[in-house]
């Protein structure tokens, strides 16, 4: 397919600091007095043209954005309605959505106010206001939306209201979307009005989640290219028409960690489409994706350009986003490609449409900085810098400038000294008046319309991005529509707004690692879309780990493993630790014997007396030092998490970061809460102080599924509160525990305050039964938690504290307004990440029956694309389960479910293990079963098995009753666009952690305190503000300060 070409390496820092970039941009921003004067004149004319009095017309997206800005109730309601209504098949759910979104806003008032101030209204705006404001006109203070809707329904019928709202959405769709099919779009492009324009057709749709989706999108692209190529418009002028391709629509796992697979499978498809476009002489543009996919996109493009059949073709191009700090480096890379392949490439420069996503992702990933600029003025400034470079490279690049900003347009014209050798681009429905004004001054200007093509129901991602991009109060489009803002204010240069490099950042937005400052820093993470960072991490991981040994730490020293006859045998058995990856021995452990436990308790009691009297700040400092070391020693921890716990690299990084966050969060919480006694209010002449102290000896029993984070979280909380700890890790993962204990000892925790007691469940039970246990922190099964609770209650002496976090039959409820692609992503992550071995994992998916077929099919198709295997391979999504017992239990459940005649279950997906799955490992492929009712799932199935039930929208309460009847209460997911539905579900208080319109795993320390109630735990929540208090006793000290010599403070206060 491709020639043997050395691909130029794209290399640029992923998220560099803003200030050095700003300094360089500001240094080169001036264009000279003559050019600036030309910009002022042309910009003023363009603004005047765009604000000129409009005649009565249909209007478009620009008009709607002026009416219903994103900052208004109407704008938000409009976005939700446009996003969801057309995909809702049933009247019951559609009515609920319409009631909420129409009833909560004041549609008619918006339109009337604007029309009165600025003349006649475009038809689209007035029609939307009429259809959506049918009931709003009747809303008075004190009336509820539901009441008004009900009254209107009685007058004209709910069917008529529903039809009006759907009609408004259809009308919007007709003006946001150029055509529902490529044929309709070509007819429009060939009309008398359309013939004067150039077009780039964008086939609307979300990224592919399944192989079937990718095939549908590929065929749609291929069909569109052939249809465009066969049209008379192309025959007359091939330059007029082109197509934009979204790579994520052509592959179901378009992600950096699947790079090898993506390059092998996707590149030939892109080449095939490009060859078709070349044959017809069309423009062929690869659309921009999120920042973490940039390098992957460039890898695909590099290889596609090397195809021999594309040699000499100048129609191939891509889009670059100016809000990316790496955008200038992308321009340079494209120019290098053009020179290498001796052809001219097209390059579309856009501002960027995923800004909020990029900000959130950088914070979640724990990056040192953001990959995008955080100030709009910096994006505008960088846009001009990219434009200058592109214009200087016109021998290699055909620049295409996508903008609706009059200042940007005027600046580009001034830099280029005219309109030759490049083209502008605008979105369909936007910028018409602005570019009409430009054409009046420069008749030869080329402006291409970016024209969305697709069904109106697929409008949502496009519409939401446009609203976010252009509806914000800071955008040029929003400010242009506000005629109270003087034109001169719109012409203020971005370099003047920024001023100096120190102002390059948005002052209100902290760096990703600092979002919890000043109390603590987040754990630094890794961006897998940054090839340099990923390569460095992979190179640092030890390829093999030296065999490790774990043993009980009693009297401050390990019980030695028996190697020779001269060494005495430990009290407990010695056993090998097997890696779940391949069953190989990676170490050994000498389990504690029950005879050692009384000594351990005596020494822990003595250690408590010393440790509890250390100042809180010193105890917290030990945790901070441990966090620092843990962060610095990432490679060995990540590899150990993979070898002993079977973690994928992504999961290992997440757990390692969580452990660091626990250490820092509990250290900061302890300082804040107990740095000094709390003064209590009271009568004069008394000093009342509330003191907190450690309880005594805590037994911490942790699970194997988070052998570092939960182990170190329990231990750190108990220690910083002033307790001594007997820590018993899960029997499957003692090697991680011994390393964690050694880390804490190295960082200042005395051996007398922290002891390791490895062993099985019998050792755990013996620890709990010891006299003198003051508290137990336990994470594991509900059955074991119940036994611990009974054992503690049956003991004589002081009442011990129990902090238990167990599992649950965690459910996710999905109604008909939910976005299928988002549901698919979140279900697959929640059910199958970590091989389903999370307490929070999704076990029971409840889907409204009206959309269940499509939802289930997409989820099953997405599950089919998951790679199962050795987790040391970065492309693997699902690693092994923990041991042979776990695998056996899961396979037995799969067998029962597969026997449909007995279980009544329907099998929707049966995963298979690849041939290269390591022999000896403990692997279970994902499975999906549909049950007859929620009651059929009677226990937690701890692995990659998803159960699905359907429910009627009118029977939601019956479903909630069934979930509640299970008695658990850990996590719950909700996917809906109806706020009332969300509120109703949440009000049932079915779970300790509830997640709306996102996945339901990965609780973040200090952000989403984690833990449940009922059978799922006792609380308080780990990583939350109340957790440490459970490890303490409280002491109130009252001193009568007036007992000797009177109250001097009172006397002084009244003089």
The enclosing H or E element of 727 equals strand 724-728
Q: Classify residue 772 as exposed, middle or buried by CB count within 10 Å of its CB (0-12, 13-18, 19+).
A: middle
Phi, psi for 441 (deg, rounded to 5): -90, -30
- Beta bridge partners, 662, equal none
Q: What whole-number distance in Å separates Cα of residue 368 and Cα of residue 511?
A: 7
Degrees to nearest 5, angle at CA 1023 with 1022 and 1029: 70
Q: Which two tokens stand for residue 389?
A: 């470079």
Q: Which residue has the tokens 């003559």?
A: 34
Residue 255 CB contacts under 8 Å (≥ 6 apart), including other chains = 262, 292, 293, 296, 528
Alpha-carbon dihedral angle through residues 835, 836, 840, 844, given to the nearest 10 degrees: 160
Q: Quickly list DSSP for 555-572.
A: TTEEPPPP-STTSPPPSS
Contact 871, 648 (CB under 8 A): yes
DSSP three-state, residue 627: helix
Q: Which residue has the tokens 């969580």?
A: 658
Q: Classify residue 665 as exposed, middle or buried by CB count within 10 Å of its CB (0-12, 13-18, 19+).
A: buried
Which residue is catalytic, options 100, 805, 865, 930? 805
Name the DSSP letter for residue 781.
Answer: -
Q: What whole-number distance in Å separates Cα of residue 166 and Cα of residue 211?
A: 32
Degrees to nearest 5, angle at CA 527 with 19 and 714: 110
Question: Residue 891: CA atoms inside 13 Å, Cβ hemisphere, count?
Answer: 12
Q: Which two tokens stand for residue 955?
A: 């029977």
Q: Which two tokens stand for residue 87?
A: 């995909």
DSSP-based helix, strand, coil % in the chain, nearest 5: 50, 15, 35
Active site residue 839: yes
Name the DSSP letter for residue 582.
Answer: T
Contact 450, 456 (CB under 8 A): no
The enclosing H or E element of 804 equals strand 801-805
Phi, psi for 199 (deg, rounded to 5): -135, 145
Which residue is catalytic, options 106, 622, 839, 846? 839
Query: Quick check: bond before 745 cis, omega within 30?
Result: no
Q: Which two tokens stand for residue 360?
A: 């959130």
Which of 753, 951, 958, 733 is CA-nearest to residue 848?
A: 951
Query: Quick check: bond before 1020 cis, omega within 30?
Result: yes
Q: Which two tokens stand for residue 312?
A: 């000499």
Q: Order of strands across the sheet with 724-728?
A: 754-756, 724-728, 697-701, 773-779, 801-805
Question: Residue 742: CA atoms inside 13 Å, Cβ hemisphere, count?
Answer: 14
Phi, psi for 300 (deg, rounded to 5): -65, -45
Q: What whole-number distance in Å separates Cα of residue 965 and Cα of residue 821?
A: 30
Q: Classify residue 903 as exposed, middle or buried by CB count within 10 Å of its CB (0-12, 13-18, 19+).
A: middle
What number of residues does the chain have? 1055
Degrees to nearest 5, angle at CA 674 with 670 and 678: 150
The enclosing H or E element of 894 equals helix 884-898
Q: Classify residue 524 as exposed, middle or buried by CB count within 10 Å of its CB (0-12, 13-18, 19+).
A: middle
Active site residues: 805, 839
């Amino acid at each position: 397919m491709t020639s043997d070409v050395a691909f130029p390496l794209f290399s640029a820092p992923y998220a560099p600091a803003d200030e050095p970039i700003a300094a360089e941009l500001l240094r080169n921003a001036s264009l000279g007095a003559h050019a600036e004067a030309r910009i002022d004149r042309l910009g003023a004319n363009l603004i005047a043209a765009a604000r000129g009095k409009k005649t009565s017309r249909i209007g478009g997206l620009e008009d709607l954005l002026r009416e219903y800005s994103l900052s208004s109730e109407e704008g938000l309601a409009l976005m939700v309605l446009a996003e969801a209504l057309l995909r809702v098949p049933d009247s019951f759910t559609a009515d609920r959505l319409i009631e909420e979104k129409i009833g909560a806003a004041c549609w008619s008032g918006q339109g009337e106010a604007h029309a009165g101030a600025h003349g006649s209204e475009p038809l689209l705006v007035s029609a939307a206001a009429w259809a959506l404001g049918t009931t709003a006109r009747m809303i008075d203070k004190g009336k509820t939306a539901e009441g008004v809707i009900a009254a209107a329904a009685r007058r004209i019928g709910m069917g008529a209201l529903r039809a009006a709202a759907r009609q408004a959405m259809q009308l919007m769709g007709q003006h946001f979307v150029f055509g529902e099919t490529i044929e309709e779009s070509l007819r429009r492009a060939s009309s008398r009005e359309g013939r004067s324009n150039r077009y780039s057709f964008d086939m609307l749709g979300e990224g592919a989640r399944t192989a079937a989706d990718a095939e549908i999108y590929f065929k749609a692209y291929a069909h569109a290219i052939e249809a465009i190529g066969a049209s008379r418009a192309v025959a007359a002028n091939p330059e007029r028409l082109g197509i934009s391709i979204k790579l994520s629509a052509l592959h179901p796992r378009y992600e950096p960690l699947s790079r090898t697979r993506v390059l092998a499978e996707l590149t030939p498809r892109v080449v095939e489409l490009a060859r078709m476009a070349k044959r017809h002489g069309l423009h062929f543009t690869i659309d921009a994706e999120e920042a973490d996919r940039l390098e992957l996109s460039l890898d695909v493009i590099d290889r596609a350009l090397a195809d021999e059949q594309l040699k000499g073709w100048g129609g191939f191009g891509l889009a670059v986003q100016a809000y990316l700090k790496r955008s200038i480096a992308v321009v340079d890379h494209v120019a290098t490609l053009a020179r290498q392949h001796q052809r001219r490439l097209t390059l579309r420069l856009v501002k960027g449409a995923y800004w909020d996503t990029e900000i959130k992702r950088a914070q979640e990933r724990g990056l040192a900085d953001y990959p995008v600029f955080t100030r709009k003025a910096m994006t505008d400034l960088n846009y001009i810098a990219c434009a200058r470079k592109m214009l200087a490279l016109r021998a290699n690049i055909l620049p295409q400038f996508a903008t609706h900003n009059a200042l940007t347009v005027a600046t580009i014209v001034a830099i280029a000294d005219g309109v030759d050798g490049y083209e502008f681009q605008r979105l369909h429905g936007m910028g018409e008046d602005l570019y009409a004004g430009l054409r009046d001054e420069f008749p030869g200007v080329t402006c291409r319309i970016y024209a969305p093509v697709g069904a109106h129901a697929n409008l949502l991602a496009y519409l939401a991005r446009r609203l976010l991009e252009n509806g914000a109060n800071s955008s040029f489009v929003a400010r242009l529509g506000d005629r109270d803002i003087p034109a001169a204010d719109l012409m203020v240069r971005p370099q003047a707004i920024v001023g100096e490099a120190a102002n390059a950042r948005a002052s209100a937005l902290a760096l990703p690692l600092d979002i919890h400052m000043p109390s603590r820093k987040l754990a630094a993470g890794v961006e897998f879309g940054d090839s340099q960072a990923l390569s460095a991490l992979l190179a640092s991981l030890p390829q093999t780990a030296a065999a490790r040994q774990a043993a009980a730490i009693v009297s401050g020293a390990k019980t030695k493993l028996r190697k020779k006859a001269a060494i005495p045998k430990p009290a407990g058995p010695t056993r090998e630790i097997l890696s779940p990856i391949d069953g190989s021995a990676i170490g050994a452990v000498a389990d504690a014997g029950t005879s050692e436990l009384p000594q351990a308790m005596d020494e822990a009691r003595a250690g408590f007396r010393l440790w509890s009297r250390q100042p809180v700040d010193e105890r917290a400092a030990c945790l901070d030092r441990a966090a620092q070391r843990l962060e610095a020693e990432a490679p060995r921890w990540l590899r150990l998490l993979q070898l002993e716990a079977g973690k994928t690299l992504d999961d290992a990084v997440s757990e390692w970061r969580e452990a660091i966050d626990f250490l820092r969060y509990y250290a900061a919480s302890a300082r804040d809460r107990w740095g000094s006694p709390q003064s209590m209010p009271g009568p004069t002449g008394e000093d009342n102080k509330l003191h907190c102290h450690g309880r005594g000896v805590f037994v911490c029993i942790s699970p194997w599924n988070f052998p570092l984070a939960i182990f170190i979280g329990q231990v750190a909380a108990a220690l910083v509160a002033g307790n001594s700890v007997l820590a018993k890790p899960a029997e499957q993962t003692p090697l991680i525990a011994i390393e964690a204990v050694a880390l804490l000892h190295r960082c200042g925790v005395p051996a007398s305050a922290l002891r390791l007691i490895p062993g099985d469940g019998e050792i755990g039970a013996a620890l709990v039964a010891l006299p003198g246990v003051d508290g137990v922190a336990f994470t594991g099964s509900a059955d074991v938690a119940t036994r611990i609770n009974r054992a503690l209650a049956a003991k004589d002496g002081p009442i011990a504290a129990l902090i238990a976090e167990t599992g649950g039959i965690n459910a996710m409820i999905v109604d008909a307004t939910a976005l299928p692609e988002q549901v698919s992503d979140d279900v697959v992550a929640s059910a199958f990440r970590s091989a389903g071995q999370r307490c929070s994992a999704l076990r029971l998916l409840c889907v409204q029956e009206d959309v269940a077929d499509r939802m289930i099919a997409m989820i099953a198709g997405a599950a089919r694309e998951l790679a199962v295997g050795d987790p040391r391979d970065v492309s693997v999504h699902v690693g092994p389960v923990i041991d042979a017992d776990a695998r056996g239990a899961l396979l037995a459940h799969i067998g029962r479910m597969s026997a449909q005649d007995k279980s009544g279950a329907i099998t929707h997906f049966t995963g298979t293990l690849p041939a290269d799955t390591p022999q000896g490992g403990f692997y279970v492929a994902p499975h999906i079963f549909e049950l007859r009712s929620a009651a059929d799932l009677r226990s937690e199935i701890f692995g990659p098995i998803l159960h699905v039930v359907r429910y009627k929208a009118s029977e939601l309460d019956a479903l909630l009753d069934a979930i509640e009847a299970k008695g658990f209460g850990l996590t719950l997911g909700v996917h809906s666009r109806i706020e009332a539905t969300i509120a109703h579900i949440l009000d049932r208080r079915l779970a300790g952690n509830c997640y709306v319109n996102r996945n339901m795993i990965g609780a973040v320390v200090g952000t989403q305190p984690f833990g449940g109630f009922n059978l799922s735990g006792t609380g308080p929540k780990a990583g939350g503000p109340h957790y440490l208090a459970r490890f303490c006793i409280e002491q109130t000290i009252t001193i009568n300060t007036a007992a000797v010599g009177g109250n001097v403070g009172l006397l002084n206060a009244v003089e």
